[in-house]
C-alpha cells in the first residue's frame, strides 16, 4: 500500500470514527490527490482552527479558487461549521478531511468528479 493510500485510509477512518460520516472514497481520494505533496508534510497536512491566516487561506485558495464560490459570510460560517463538526478540541484536523467536508457542504463534488476523471 502506498503512503498516499495509507493517508486516505486514515482520513476515511477519521470521517467514520470522529464524525460518523459514510465516506465517498472516490471523492476523498480526488480531494487528497488535489492537495499534492502537502499531505506528506505534518504542518501543511493539518489545519489549525484558531489561526485566522490559515482559515483565510482555506477560504481564498480552496472555497473561492478551487470550488468557484463567491466571497460571502456564508464561507466563513461553513468553515466554522465544518471545524466545529470535526471537533474544536481535536488538534489533528486533516486538511483533506476538512476540504472533503467543505466540498460536500457546498454540494461541489462535481469539481472533483467531472466526466472523464474516473468512476463516480
Segment 23-52, tens digit of pLDDT: 999 999 999 999 999 999 988 999 988 899
How far is it, in rounded angstroms, from Cα 112 to Cα 99?
11
Question: pLDDT (tens digit, 0 to 9) for every residue of the chain, 120 residues total?
Answer: 899 999 999 999 999 999 998 999 999 999 999 999 999 998 899 998 889 999 999 999 999 999 999 999 999 999 999 999 998 778 779 999 999 999 999 999 999 987 544 443
pTM for the whole structure: 0.91
How far is it, in rounded angstroms, from Cα 18 to Cα 68?
28
Angle 74-56-99 (CA atoms, 0-180°, nearest 5)?
70
Q: What is the pLDDT of residue 87?
A: 87
Q: What is the pLDDT of residue 118?
A: 44
Q: What is the pLDDT of residue 115?
A: 54
Tally Cβ neighbours within 10 Å of residue 69: 17
Domains, the chain = 3-111 (1.10.238.120)
Integer CA distances (angstroms), 26 to 30, 45, 80, 81, 116, in order: 6, 19, 25, 23, 13
Q: What is the DSSP string of 6-18?
A: HHHHHHHHHHHHH
Q: Please, which residues have CB within 8 angstroms of residue 41's CB and are 6 or more apart in sequence?
A: none
Amino acid at each position: 500500500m502506498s503512503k498516499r493510500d495509507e493517508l486516505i485510509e486514515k482520513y476515511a477512518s477519521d470521517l467514520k470514527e470522529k464524525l460518523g460520516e459514510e465516506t465517498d472514497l472516490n471523492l476523498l481520494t480526488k480531494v487528497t490527490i488535489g492537495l499534492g505533496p502537502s499531505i506528506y508534510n505534518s504542518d501543511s497536512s493539518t489545519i489549525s482552527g484558531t489561526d485566522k491566516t490559515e482559515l483565510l487561506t482555506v477560504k481564498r485558495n480552496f472555497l473561492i479558487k478551487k470550488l468557484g464560490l463567491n466571497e460571502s459570510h456564508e464561507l466563513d460560517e461553513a468553515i466554522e461549521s465544518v471545524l466545529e463538526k470535526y471537533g474544536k478540541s481535536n488538534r489533528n484536523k486533516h486538511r483533506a478531511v476538512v476540504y472533503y467536508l467543505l466540498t460536500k457542504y457546498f454540494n461541489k463534488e462535481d469539481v472533483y468528479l467531472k466526466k472523464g476523471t474516473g468512476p463516480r
